[in-house]
Structure 1
Amino acid sequence: MSVAIVETARSWMGTPYLHQASRKGVGCDCLGLLRGVWREVFGAEPEQVPIYTADWSEPQGDERLYRAAMRHMQRVDEAMLAPGQVLLFRMRDGAVAKHLGIVSAADPAPRFIHAYAGHGVCESPLSQPWRKRIVARFEISQG
């Protein structure tokens, strides 16, 4: 299943960044990328995503994305880094975790696919600055 997840995520490369969107080639944000990959690989999304603002959950310090990930995926922090795993990032110390990516290559040269403003869907090295922001790693346990 991990090969299908990575191949599907790569097929989204070049999709422009568009907040709250989830349409390949049209636009998506990081959550939209995961939602789109989920739909293509597994079918229906596990729950409806509510409307959210760019600063969602921050004013309240609410870990909504983290809780949703725990509801629908298996946490695998102790496992080796592997393609197809979903990464959850905290972009600033003290901020809520609200950026997602999909591991596309493991060690020795790890990479991940994600969507972010100004870049759209792209594949980036999972460098030390990115690694230190990882809050949790998950495997999609649907199928």
Structure 2
Amino acid sequence: MSAMGDRVVALAEGWIGTPYRHQGAARGIGCDCIGLIRGIWGELYGDEPGPVPAYAPDWAERSGEDRLLDAARRLFGGPLPIGEAEPGDLLLFRWRPDCAAKHAGILVRPRHFIHAYEQSAVTRSALVPSWKRKIAAVHRFPDVSGD
């Protein structure tokens, strides 16, 4: 694992237990999966990646666009092959092949990831086959200056 991957994993672990809150992005107070990634981004780079417009729980189904994948490409660059995922990488998930990506998490070990689990909290989950099949993209956080 790279130094950047170590850093991302450590930050993600610091969010474990944060209650689930739709559109939240505050460690220890509340976040959703997008807020978890926004919060980690802010801790790494000092700023959020940009303003996030309000979104309904069914935003991915209603928009007809793959906004989460588009935002990941803009901020992280092109996706990596799924087989090259390393701890600290961003995982994006889609529930069905014909739907937009709607969930995000951080790979922390080859078989575990951290994500904001709806109706619960930020948690570490096993990356079991049913989750692995839903991976839509893998992205690596850009290096912080000096790494």
Alignment of 1:16-95 (within 5 A): 16-74=19-77, 75-77=79-81, 80-95=84-99
Residues 63-94 of structure 1 show CA distances to partners (whole Å, capped at 9, x for unaligned) of 01110000001321265221000000002342
Select the structure that is richer in helix: 2
Q: TM-score, normalised by structure 2?
A: 0.90
Q: Once the 2 structures are TM-superposed, how far is the Cα of residue 135 of structure 1 from its aligned partner?
A: 0.5
Q: Which shows bigger deviation, 88-97 or 33-42?
A: 88-97
The whole-number CA distance in structure 2 between the counterparts of 1:102 and 1:78 is 13
Q: Per the alignment, in what secondary structure is the counterpart of residue 103 of structure 1?
A: strand
Residues 33-84 of structure 1 show CA distances to partners (whole Å, capped at 9, x for unaligned) of 0111111122112211111110113123210111000000132126522100
- Taking only aligned residues, the RMSD between alpha carbons, in angstroms, comes to 1.3
Unmatched segments (≥5 aa) in structure 1 = none
The whole-number CA distance in structure 1 between the counterparts of 2:21 and 2:70 is 23
Unmatched segments (≥5 aa) in structure 2 = none
**2:142 aligned partner:** 141
Between the aligned residues of both structures, percent identity stands at 42
The whole-number CA distance in structure 2 between the counterparts of 1:141 and 1:38 is 10
**2:106 aligned partner:** 102
Q: Per the alignment, in what secondary structure is the counterpart of residue 140 of structure 1?
A: coil
Q: Once the 2 structures are TM-superposed, how far is the Cα of residue 119 of structure 1 from its aligned partner?
A: 2.1
**2:124 aligned partner:** 123
Amino acid of the structure 2 residue aligned with 1:71: R
The whole-number CA distance in structure 2 between the counterparts of 1:45 and 1:142 is 16
The whole-number CA distance in structure 1 between the counterparts of 2:36 and 2:82 is 25
Q: 1:78 to 1:59 in 2, by over 3 A?
A: closer
Amino acid of the structure 2 residue aligned with 1:54: P
Q: 1:78 to 1:88 in 2, by over 3 A?
A: closer
